[in-house]
Amino acid sequence: MSSVRVRFAPSPTGFFHIGSARTALFNWLYARHTGGKFILRIEDTDKARNSEEFLNVIYDSLTWLGLNWDEGPKIGGDFGPYRQSERDAIYREYLQRLLDGGRAYEKDGAIWFKLLGDRHEVYDDHRQKTVTKVKTAPTVIEDRIRGRVERTEDEDFVIVRSDGNPVFHFVNVVDDITMRITHVIRGEDHLSNASKHVELFKAFGAPVPEFAHIPLILKQNGPGKMSKRDQGALVEEYQRRGYIAEALVNFLSLLGWNPGDDREKMPLDEIVRLFDLPGVNQSNARFDDKKLAHMNMLYLLELPADEFVARARTFFDSQAGDSPALAADATYFREVMLLSQPKIKGIEELPAYTVYFFTEDFPMDEKVKAKVLGKGEPKTRLNELIAALAAMDFSSDEAIENAIKAVAETNGQGFGAYQSVARLALTGTNVGPSITGIMRVLGRERTGRRLTKLAAAI
Ligand code: GLU
C-alpha cells in the first residue's frame, strides 16, 4: 500500500465553485492513482465567515461528483477530528511547543512566529511605522508543478490573533503535520504562503511535504482569475441543471492537465490511471462553458435508456410548476424522452424541447408558420396526409416514412412538401426530432387531430 496522503481543505465561506472542485479532483485523482488516501479537512476557524449551509454544499457537491473521501467529517479516521473548529486542544499543544522552544512570543496581545536570523529595526514608509526585519536565507520550495521557487521571509508573523483565534498558516501546517499529509496539492494562489508554511514545518522539526501548486483557472471572457461570482462558476448550478457528474469530472480533469495526447472524453478509470503531477500544466487554464456543455452532451448520448429517462423525470420533477409531462402516461413519457435523447445538448433543454408532446395548447412559431404556409399548397398536402392516416402503419418510423413517400408519389410531390407542413401542424416549429419519430410517438389519433386543426385554419 502507498504512503501517499493528500487532503482537500476547503473553507466553508461560500458556495462550492469550479476552482475548488478542480483542486478536490486533482487531490482525489492523485490519491487514487497512487493508491494513497484522500482526506477531507474543513478549515473553519474563521467563525464569522463560515456557515453550516456552505458546509453542506461542500459535502453534497463532493458526493455528487463522486469524490469520496477516505478520512474526514461524517466518516472519521485515525487523525481526526477533521474540522478545525474541533481541534483547539491540538493547536494549543502545538503552540506550546513553539513557545517552549523559543519560536513564538507574545506581543500586543497576539502570538507571533519567530524567524531565525539577525534582527534590525527599519522605518517602513508604506506602513508608517518601525518594523523588525530578520535576515534569513531564502526558503526553497521544490514545487512538483512550478519547479524550484525561492522566497525570503523577513518578518515575524502572527499565528494567533489577539482575539485568541489561530491564523490560517498555523492551523494549516499543524493539521498537515498531525494528519501526516505527504503532498500538498492546492491552488497557485497559495504559493505565496508556502514559504511561511515551510518555516513552520521546520520549526516543529516535521518533514516538509511535497508541494504541488496547480495553475489558476481563468475566467471565460477577459483576463483574470475565475471567481465565485462569474457565470457558471458554481458546481451546484450544474447539478441543478441536470448535468452529468461524470461529464463535469472529465471536463475538470482537463483544466490544467492532459493525458499526454489530445484525447478529451475519457472514462474515469483511464483518467485515474494516467493522472500524475508531472502531467499538470504550468500555464493557466481557461474555463469554457461550451466545452463543458459539449462534454455533457457526449455523456448524455451514451446514457442507457432507463437511466436517461430516470434523469429526465428527476429534472421535470425539480422544476417549479406542474408540467403536464409529469401527468403523462409513463410509457408515453419514456418514448418522448428517448426520441429527444440524441437531439438535445442537455437535460435542461427537455421541457421546452418536448412541450408539444404533452399539451394541445403548444406555442406556434409565427415566423415559421408564415414561411411554411406561404409556399406550395399546404392545405392540399395536409388533406392528402389526413386521407392516408387511417390506413397508415404506425408501428415504426420506417413504416411511417414509407407511407408518406407513397402519398407523395401518388400526388407527384416530394417528401419535403409533407414534412414541413406536418411538422408545423404537429409541433408549431421547424426543428425537433424526425417527423416520422414525432408521428409514431404522438400516435395516429393526436396526429390526425393536429393535422385537421391546421388544415381547417388555412
Ligand atoms: N483553506 C484553504 C483554501 O480554501 C486551503 C489551503 C490549503 O490547501 O493549504 O484555500
What is the pLDDT tens value at each position of the chain, 458 positions in all? Answer: 579 999 999 999 888 999 999 999 999 999 999 999 999 999 998 877 888 889 999 999 999 999 999 999 999 999 999 999 999 999 999 999 999 999 999 999 999 999 999 999 999 999 999 999 999 999 999 999 999 999 999 999 999 999 999 999 999 999 999 999 999 999 999 999 999 999 999 999 999 999 999 999 998 888 888 887 787 889 999 999 999 999 999 999 999 999 988 899 999 999 999 999 999 998 889 999 999 999 999 999 999 999 999 999 999 999 978 889 999 999 999 999 999 999 999 999 999 999 999 999 999 999 999 999 999 999 999 999 999 999 999 999 999 999 999 999 999 999 999 999 999 999 999 999 999 999 999 999 999 999 999 999 98
Question: How many Å lie between the centroid of ligand 1 and the Cα of residue 172?
Answer: 8
Residue 453 amino acid letter: K
Probe residue for ligand 1, chosen from 15, 62, 167, 172 as the CB with the greatest number of ligand atoms within 8 Å = 172
Output the CA angle 135-137-141, nearest 5 degrees: 135
Q: Any idea which residue has 489558476 for its cell?
A: 216
Quote the cell numbers at residue 70: 477516505
Q: Let me know: does 54 contact 228? Beta carbons within 8 Å.
A: no
Probe residue for ligand 1, chosen from 6, 43, 208 as the CB with the greatest number of ligand atoms within 8 Å = 43
Q: How many CA atoms lie within 13 A of 25 on its CB side?
A: 31
Question: How many Å lie between the centroid of ligand 1 and the Cα of residue 288?
Answer: 24
Helix (H) or strand (E) holding 213: strand 210-214
Rounded CA gap, 440 and 437, in Å?
Answer: 5
Given the CA of residue 7, which atom of ligand 1 is nearest to it? 8
Q: What is the dihedral of CA 417, 419, 421, 425, to 10 degrees?
A: 160
Query: Which is it for strands 118-124 and 157-160: parallel, antiparallel or unpaired?
Result: unpaired
Question: How many Å lie between the centroid of ligand 1 and the Cα of residue 103?
Answer: 24
- Of all protein residues, the one whose alpha carbon is nearest to atom 4 of ligand 1 is 10
Query: Which is it for strands 157-160 and 37-40: parallel, antiparallel or unpaired?
Result: unpaired
CB-count exposure of residue 13 (10 Å: 0-12, 13-18, 19+) = middle
Given the CA of residue 168, which atom of ligand 1 is nearest to it? 1
Residue 295 amino acid letter: M
- Of all protein residues, the one whose alpha carbon is nearest to atom 10 of ligand 1 is 10
Rounded CA gap, 326 and 236, in Å?
Answer: 24
Helix (H, G, I), strand (E, B) or coil at 306: helix
Given the CA of residue 43, which atom of ligand 1 is nearest to it? 1
The whole-number pLDDT of residue 436 equals 98
CB-count exposure of residue 267 (10 Å: 0-12, 13-18, 19+) = exposed
Q: Which is the catalytic residue, given 133, 228, 291, 343?
A: 228
The whole-number pLDDT of residue 200 equals 98
Question: How many Å lie between the centroid of ligand 1 and the Cα of residue 266?
Answer: 29
The whole-number pLDDT of residue 114 equals 98
Query: Which is it for strands 110-113 and 118-124: parallel, antiparallel or unpaired?
Result: unpaired
228 catalytically annotated:
yes
Q: Any idea which residue has 515551510 for its cell?
A: 198
Helix (H) or strand (E) holding 40: strand 37-40
- Of all protein residues, the one whose alpha carbon is nearest to atom 3 of ligand 1 is 10
- Of all protein residues, the one whose alpha carbon is nearest to atom 5 of ligand 1 is 9
Write down the pTM of the prediction: 0.92
Contacts of 425 (CB under 8 A, 6+ apart): 382, 450, 451, 453, 454, 455
Given the CA of residue 197, which atom of ligand 1 is nearest to it? 9
Q: Let me know: does 96 contact 85? Beta carbons within 8 Å.
A: no
The whole-number pLDDT of residue 410 equals 96
Q: Let me know: does 268 contact 250? Beta carbons within 8 Å.
A: yes
Radius of gyration of the chain measured on its C-alpha atoms = 31
Question: How many Å lie between the centroid of ligand 1 and the Cα of residue 349?
Answer: 36
Contact residues of ligand 1, CB 6 A cut-off: 9-11, 43, 172, 184, 186, 190
Q: Let me know: does 211 contact 184? Beta carbons within 8 Å.
A: yes
Q: Phi/psi zone of residue 430: left (φ > 0), alpha (ψ -120 to 50 degrees), beta?
A: alpha
Helix axes 305-318, 330-340, angle to 10 degrees: 100
The whole-number pLDDT of residue 252 equals 97
Q: Any idea which residue has 458554481 for its cell?
A: 234
- Of all protein residues, the one whose alpha carbon is nearest to atom 6 of ligand 1 is 9
Given the CA of residue 20, which atom of ligand 1 is nearest to it? 4
The number of beta carbons lying within 10 Å of the beta carbon of residue 439 is 26
Given the CA of residue 189, which atom of ligand 1 is nearest to it? 10
Rounded CA gap, 280 and 259, in Å?
Answer: 9
Contacts of 1 (CB under 8 A, 6+ apart): 35
Query: Which is it for strands 210-214 and 183-187: parallel, antiparallel or unpaired?
Result: parallel
Question: How many Å lie between the centroid of ligand 1 and the Cα of residue 303?
Answer: 36
Probe residue for ligand 1, chosen from 11, 57, 192 as the CB with the greatest number of ligand atoms within 8 Å = 11
CB-count exposure of residue 298 (10 Å: 0-12, 13-18, 19+) = middle
Given the CA of residue 23, which atom of ligand 1 is nearest to it? 8
Question: How many Å lie between the centroid of ligand 1 and the Cα of residue 20?
Answer: 9
Helix axes 245-253, 289-302, angle to 10 degrees: 130
The whole-number pLDDT of residue 277 equals 95
Question: How many Å lie between the centroid of ligand 1 and the Cα of residue 10?
Answer: 6
Question: How many Å lie between the centroid of ligand 1 and the Cα of residue 41?
Answer: 9
